[in-house]
Chains A and B, each alone.
Chain A
Amino acid sequence: MPIWLEIRLLPPARYLAIRRHLLGWALLGIAGSLAGAQAPPAPPAAPAAPPAPVAARFVVVLDAAHGGDDSGGRLNGQAEKTVTLALSVRLRSLLEARGIAVVTTRDSDATVDLNRRAEVANHANAEACLSLHATESGNGIHLFASSVAPAQSTHFAAWKTAQAAWVTRSLALAGTLNSALLQAGMTVTLGRTTLLAVDSMTCPAVAVEIAPERGPDKKVTTELDDPDYQARIAGALAAALLDWRSEARQP
């Protein structure tokens, strides 16, 4: 005897209960399909404990500036693209070891268009975007937020000023990075600039430029290619991003 006939032959009260149950399952299945859920829905009648809050995925975008045909500046015999990539790789490993998802705009010596860099960052839905640069001018670490004037978020933002809705958060991120770097004993300067890749990013974005450390007489005390110096910078930036994640998760 088919199962549907067995159910139909049950007493009316029992039959109606089963039908309601099956109908509930069917409706939930349809809703789940529409929402793209993979797992079968739980029975509605089962009294379940409130689900534990699932932390949103915290993504950091690392943009190693230059690359490929664009070598950037010459730094003590080294190309800027090499220094930025080395810092990106080092910082990525530190962040991933701390459970932070990292998206990079390049992992090798490849040419990446400035617009493409912003596209990668915007698709990542990142909580922090760092554009990494290096120079021989100045002293210590230079942090730059976009100089785009702050504006309300709109559905259709202009590409060249997409950062406008995020620039306030970018300044806050620059503050967090500044605190961590100062705590690590480094010299930091803050500023605003126009940089195409950063101006088009829809995430809290800061350009981090590393320079040699100099003494009071302007003479270089620590070169850019010093592994210990690079490790200190990467460590401080990773600590700052952990702080940033904690702040982002606070209610």
Chain B
Amino acid sequence: MIPRHQTILFLVLLLASVVMSVVLWQLRDRAHQRMLVGQDSAPTQAPEVAPVVQATLLVANDADNSLLAQVQSLPLPQDPGTRARVVLGKLLELYAAPDANHPVPGGASSIAQVFLLPVVNPDLDPTGSTAVRDEGKFPLSGPGSGESSPATLGIERGDLQQTGPELAVVNLTGAFAANHPSGLETETLTVLSICGTLHANLPRVTEVRFLVDGAQRATLAGHADLTRTYLATEAVPTEGSHP
């Protein structure tokens, strides 16, 4: 026989449990409502539309080891670093296409960041007409790299002289380097086309360095040297020769 006081205690506890469940259920509903209010995605600010400008991409071709200048209309932001990233992203998108002449997987997301830093060397001519031949700096560019017009991107020549040459530090993703085809020609063309495209669209960029996942890496995929500073200002003809 269950004592009377135990029966009363059981009923009280049961009642308390039911009341607590109801309270918790209501609290949960309120929290859910608050979360929905916080996630209100209604636009509060009109999106900024970047102006569409002509960008020159130096597109590599494995068949004849050449770089071909290709002009594309792209919405480019005003910030030079972001602009460089967008242009290089477009270049790598072309390489990731199935019918690319220089097939490299990865696409636009392979460019993690592009940093633009002033070049300390005072001997460097910002117009790129004078080559700097310091040890460890090598001129690399393809056809057309010296023919870009700063005016096409809304950059005045006066700005160039005031701000001086810049070093672009291109931070590639580790996945891009890991999946890049191995080979002297293909790796050299990737490096060349990045350097040339940067200089064609941002003429102040006269030197380029590469990082992979924020760290220095010896080579891109076993061949092209990524430890050096590349000069993007002097054209070195790249010839194709066929029987």
Contacts and interface: CB of A to CB of B under 8 A. Distances in A.
Is the pairing of A and B real?
A: yes
Interface string A130-142: 0001111111001
12 contacts: A70-B222, A137-B103, A144-B185, A144-B188, A149-B139, A158-B135, A160-B136, A191-B239, A193-B223, A194-B230, A207-B184, A209-B184
A186 B184 contact: no
Contact of B62 (A74, A137, A178, A182): A137
Contacts of B238: 190-192
A189 interface: yes
B228 interface: yes
B241 A135 contact: no
Interface in B199-238: 221-225, 228, 230, 236, 238
Contact of B241 (A74, A133, A190, A209): A190
Contacts, number: 112
B96 interface: no
Given A186-B243, A187-B243, A72 B184 contact: no
A135 B223 CA distance: 11
B2 interface: no
B34 to A, nearest CB: 55
B225 A196 contact: yes
B140 interface: yes
Interface string B128-147: 00010101101110000000
A73 interface: yes
Contacts of B156: none
B188 A135 contact: no
B242 interface: yes
A211 B131 CA distance: 33
Interface of B: 62-65, 103, 131, 133, 135-136, 138-140, 181-186, 188, 221-225, 228, 230, 236, 238-243
Grouping DSSP codes into helix (H, G, I), strand (E, B) and loop, the B interface class, with mixed when no group exceeds half, is loop
A187 B185 contact: no
Given A189-B241, A193-B188, A80 B225 contact: no
A197 to B, nearest CB: 10
Contacts of A189: 64-65, 185, 239-241
Nearest to B133: A149
Interface string A61-94: 0000010001011100000100000000000000
A138 B65 contact: yes
B219 to A, nearest CB: 9
Contacts of B135: 158, 160-161
A188 B22 CA distance: 81
B65 A142 contact: yes
A161 B225 CA distance: 13
Given A137-B62, A147-B236, A191 B224 contact: no
Contacts of B242: 187-188
A218 interface: yes
Nearest to B187: A193
Contacts of A148: 138
Contacts of B185: 135, 137-138, 142, 144, 189, 191, 209, 211
B63 A149 contact: no
A195 interface: yes
Contacts of A133: 183-184, 223
